[in-house]
Amino acid sequence: EAQVTQNPRYLITVTGKKLTVTCSQNMNHEYMSWYRQDPGLGLRQIYYSMNVEVTDKGDVPEGYKVSRKEKRNFPLILESPSPNQTSLYFCASSLYGSHSPLHFGNGTRLTVT
């Protein structure tokens, strides 16, 4: 089944403790992206990648890192999480970037205390 898989689905952590959220897609998509979704603010893009080893900042990149060492994987790294990073995170991919639709994972709900 074609899908975007994120793990974990739920994560509770403390301020400053490094964490990684994994994302993998099995559709051979070129483009992958991370979003956070907050009430009233909608989806905001954190980082995106058009290809292996190519990443670019979105609208809210501060406090996040990403890497794209393989085409199928695009992990999101929070080196020192803070409470304002408590949010619902989505990974998404598309075949050709903005010229094809995004397909989303089921989300990771992160709570930072």
Partner 1 sequence: QKEVEQDPGPLSVPEGAIVSLNCTYSNSAFQYFMWYRQYSRKGPELLMYTYSSGNKEDGRFTAQVDKSSKYISLFIRDSQPSDSATYLCAMTKNTGNQFYFGTGTSLTVIP
Check residue 32 for interaction with partner 1 (CB under 8 A).
Answer: no
Check residue 58 for interaction with partner 1 (CB under 8 A).
Answer: yes
DSSP strand E in 1-113: where?
Answer: 4-7, 10-13, 19-25, 31-38, 42-51, 54-57, 65-66, 76-78, 87-94, 103-104, 108-112
Q: In this chain, which of 40, 53, 69, 113 binds partner 1, going by CB under 8 A?
A: 40
Q: What is the dihedral of CA 69, 65, 94, 99, to 10 degrees?
A: -110
Check residue 25 for interaction with partner 1 (CB under 8 A).
Answer: no
Check residue 103 for interaction with partner 1 (CB under 8 A).
Answer: yes
Which residues of the shown chain bind partner 1 in the complex (CB under 8 A)?
Answer: 4, 31, 33, 40-43, 45, 48, 50, 56, 58, 90, 92, 97-99, 101-107, 109
